[in-house]
A and B are shown apart, each in its own frame.
Chain A
Amino acid sequence: MHAPAAASLKAASVRFGSFTAIDNLSLEIEAGSFYTILGPSGCGKSTMLRLVSDLIPAASGEVSIFGKTTEAARLAREFAFVFQDATLLPWRSALKNVELPLEVGRKRGIELPVGNRSPRELLELVGLKGRENALPHELSGGMRQRVAIARALVCQPKLLLMDEPFGALDEMTRDHLNLQLLEIWRETGTTILFVTHSIAEAVFLGQKVVMLAAHPGRLREVIDIDLPEPRTIPMRDTAEFTRYSARLRELLETC
Chain B
Amino acid sequence: MAALDTLSPDADYEEAERRAIRRRRVVSVAVPVGTAVALILLWQAGVRFFEVPTYIAPAPSDVAGAFVAKSDVLIMNFWPTLIEALSGFFVGNMAAILIAIGFVHSRNIERAFFPIAVFVNTIPILAIAPILVLIFGPGLTAKVVIAALICFFPTLVNMVRGLESVSPQALELARILSASKAEVFWKIRLPSSLPFLFSALRIAATTSVIGAIVGEWVGADLGLGALIIDSTFNFNSPLLYATVFMSSGLSVLLFAAVALTERLVIRW
Residues of chain A at interface, number, CB under 8 A: 28
Q: A105-B178, A105-B180 are in contact. Are A100 and B268 (CB under 8 A)?
A: no
Q: Is the CB of A83 within 8 A of B191?
A: no
Chain B residues near A75 (CB-CB < 8 A): 178
List CB contacts (< 8 Å) of A13-32 with chain B. none
**When chains A and B are docked, how far (Å) is the Cα of A136 from the Cα of B167?**
15
CB nearest neighbor in B for A161: B176
Q: Is the CB of B191 within 8 A of A74?
A: no
B169 within 8 A of A: yes
* Contact pattern, B 159-191, Cβ under 8 Å of A = 1, otherwise 0: 000000001011011111111101100011001
List CB contacts (< 8 Å) of B226-268 with chain A. 266-268
Q: Is the CB of A87 within 8 A of B169?
A: yes
Residues of chain B at interface, number, CB under 8 A: 21
Cβ distance B11 to chain A, nearest Cβ, rounded Å: 29
Chain B residues near A55 (CB-CB < 8 A): 172, 175-176
Q: Is the CB of A87 within 8 A of B187?
A: no
* Contact pattern, B 122-143, Cβ under 8 Å of A = 1, otherwise 0: 0000000000000000000000
Chain A residues near B175 (CB-CB < 8 A): 54-55
Chain B residues near A166 (CB-CB < 8 A): none
* Contact pattern, A 133-173, Cβ under 8 Å of B = 1, otherwise 0: 00111000000000000000000000000000000000000
Give the top 8 A-B pairs by smallest Cβ distance, nearest first.
A104-B179, A90-B268, A105-B178, A87-B169, A104-B183, A91-B268, A83-B169, A91-B191
Known: A105-B178, A135-B267. 6 other contacts (CB 8 A): A75-B178, A89-B187, A90-B268, A104-B180, A104-B187, A136-B268
**23 pairs of residues in contact across A and B, judged by CB atoms under 8 Å:** A54-B175, A54-B176, A74-B176, A77-B177, A77-B178, A80-B176, A81-B172, A81-B173, A84-B169, A87-B173, A89-B170, A90-B268, A91-B191, A91-B267, A104-B174, A104-B178, A104-B180, A105-B178, A105-B179, A107-B180, A108-B178, A135-B268, A136-B268
Task: Using CB atoms and an 8 Å cutoff, list the residues of chain A in contact with chain B.
Answer: 50, 53-55, 74-75, 77, 79-81, 83-85, 87, 89-91, 100-101, 103-105, 107-108, 110, 135-137
